[in-house]
Structure 1
């Protein structure tokens, strides 16, 4: 079912996005909501179905991966999908002001921020300037993963997604409350560059 026709509750929205990802994987995309009438319609406002916190990596184009179009997703992108006050404000705006019922955190295979952090923790070079912030933000999740016995970059990438979801729920009382009542769902996924699939690593209220 097209995303625009689904009930605006967590599970139906997530299921529609999963279906869109399957179309993308199989080179059978619908490419919806990308025409002139859609552009004109959006002049009057927006009603996205989900907010996605994704890595800025050029290989992770969110709307293409889920086979959706203009106005369908509210996307916040930072290197390593790191969180800061602006990101939290953006997520809360999407939920409170736009009525978005689903939050997605998307990490990915071959994440440069995660690898750079792991290398730095192993005694490698730490970037200068503002790039250092990326290492500082990602490091806690890598250290936590290692404490749990995880050791591969893929493991670190997936754990970083889980840690990011946990941060969202623990640091935003507004989001946590809506997830607890079932009004909002949250999904953490690991995007596989090799085959285009978004693999869930943590879910709440989308079953």
Structure 2
């Protein structure tokens, strides 16, 4: 509980503890460098149990994802929230801080490449990471019901669905529906990587057409970004 400074009944311990809360809030909201943010946030939470951690913002949610990817890329994973205690905790309910709309490609597992655990990220996957009515509805549910603060649409190097679209060959079954969802992003004769990036931008545009998503973005309650995953390095680069 924050001490009452309108009365003289506070102690030196109260003052120090209150200072920790202020520092914690500043660190979590000031947008400082990623490594300092990660280290200091954990230190402050460990040092005091009587002040609540400020609600996560879209900026902090994105920063947390990128910190996790940095750990993965450097082989310094922490494998958070992957123990028996976490299983019991999330059985009672989930509150993921971010959502990933990613490709179904077996090489691009969101929890692994962002070094996250159970209940941390809400994952929607399909070939080509395309936005359909079902994907949009799933993400709308995530932001409205679960409080997700950041959505990343994640494309990746050597995406087979994008390559099939570039090739333009006829395909059997329902595969054509995926190609149809990607095709509007292809202009001219792009490289494979350029086409993946263009597809991510198109899917962001589709997602932002949702009144639910658009309103939350306008209220600064949600951030929607694009990402490009490099299969050869493990790095996620933000698409602007």
TM-score normalised according to structure 1 size: 0.89
Q: Which of 223, 233, 239 is residue 185 of structure 1 equivalent to?
A: 223
- Counterpart residue number, 1:153: 192
Q: Secondary structure at the match of 2:225?
A: strand
* Structure 2 residue runs without a partner (length 5+): 1-37, 43-52
Residue 138 of structure 2 corresponds to residue 138 of structure 1: no
For residues 178 and 116 of structure 1, the distance between their equivalents in structure 2, rounded to whole angstroms, comes to 34
More displaced 10-residue stretch of structure 1: 92-101 or 128-137? 128-137
Q: Secondary structure at the match of 2:115?
A: coil
Aligned residues: 192
For residues 101 and 178 of structure 2, the distance between their equivalents in structure 1, rounded to whole angstroms, comes to 15
Q: Secondary structure at the match of 2:181?
A: helix
Deviation at residue 6 of structure 1 after TM alignment? 7.5
For residues 63 and 131 of structure 2, the distance between their equivalents in structure 1, rounded to whole angstroms, comes to 26
Residue 109 of structure 2 corresponds to residue 109 of structure 1: no
Alpha carbons of 1:176 and 1:60: their partners in 2 closer, same or farther (altered >3 Å)? same
Deviation at residue 41 of structure 1 after TM alignment? 0.7
Larger Rg: 2
Q: Secondary structure at the match of 2:128?
A: helix
Query: Which aligned segments of 4 or more residues in structure 1 are displaced greater than 6 angstroms?
Result: 2-6
Kindly indicate whether the alpha-carbon contact (under 8 Å) linking 1:55 and 1:77 is maintained by their aligned counterparts in 2: yes
Structure having greater relative contact order (Cα 8 Å, sep ≥ 6) = 1
Matches within 5 A, 1:18-167: 18-120=66-168, 125-142=169-186, 145-146=187-188, 151-167=190-206
- Counterpart residue number, 1:195: 233
Kindly indicate whether the alpha-carbon contact (under 8 Å) linking 1:54 and 1:75 is maintained by their aligned counterparts in 2: yes
Deviations 1:9-59 (A, max 9, x none): 110111111111000000000000000000011110000001110000000
For residues 12 and 131 of structure 1, the distance between their equivalents in structure 2, rounded to whole angstroms, comes to 37
For residues 118 and 219 of structure 2, the distance between their equivalents in structure 1, rounded to whole angstroms, comes to 29
Deviations 1:41-89 (A, max 9, x none): 1110000001110000000010000000000000000100111111111
For residues 194 and 183 of structure 2, the distance between their equivalents in structure 1, rounded to whole angstroms, comes to 14
For residues 38 and 180 of structure 1, the distance between their equivalents in structure 2, rounded to whole angstroms, comes to 34
* Structure 1 residue runs without a partner (length 5+): 203-207
Deviation at residue 186 of structure 1 after TM alignment? 1.0
